Amino acid sequence: MSPIEIAVAVIWQVKDTAKAVFEVDNYKEYLSLQCDAALRNIVRISPYDVAENIDTTGDSEPDDGSLRGSSTLVAERIRQEIQDKVADAGLQRIQPVTDFPLEDWNQILSTILTGTFLMTKHCLPSMKEAGFGRVITISSGHGRRPDKYKSAYVAAKHGQIGFTNTVAMEEAKNGITANCILPDAANTCPYSRAISYPR
């Protein structure tokens, strides 16, 4: 059996600093622990390969979920479990292009786009060695549909799609696929600020 390496990259933001300080001493340590717990739990309940009569969702019904054959499903389960544990996560700045601070632009592109690049770059060698791999990038609906006042976020999310397509073309010969998931809007703190911005 070939080993499978699974890594998690999380973009996060403190929604309520007063509540967070009261409940969590160290944001980064807390998030790291929750990510580790979510990852371990999903790996624990998911078989290596598709097996008959295995329940990986906890609904008492057999399903096709597996680490090797259902990478999109596994990625979504990990994302949902982390989201449930830490509530809101996101990075967003809402301003017109003419007023958009360069430091905010750089932070968003560095976090979203460079983070995607670095995670993928460092996971690919072990996938190549195994002759198998699944790269799943969580982009956004804004990766296809831009919106006003979100220039950096939209650019980064478009960039993730282009980058992932490039990885797919480069690595297909090595048994590695690369795909993007484009979730719709979620009711998070950045989204609430975005819809309240003057249109």
In whole angstroms, give the CA distance from residue 194 to residue 192. Answer: 5
In whole angstroms, give the CA distance from residue 190 to residue 16. Answer: 12
Residue 189, CA distances (Å) to 1, 43, 108, 192 in order: 43, 29, 16, 5
Q: What value does the CA radius of gyration of the chain take, rounded to a whole number of Å? A: 18
Segment holding 178, helix H or strand E: strand 176-181
- Angle of CA points 10, 16, 17, to nearest 5°: 90
28 Cβ contact partners less than 8 Å away, ≥ 6 residues apart: none
φ/ψ of 172, rounded to 5, equals -55, -40
DSSP classification of residue 59: S
Let me know if 153 is a catalytic residue.
yes
* Identified catalytic residue from 149, 153, 191, 197: 153
Catalytic residue numbers, as ranges: 153
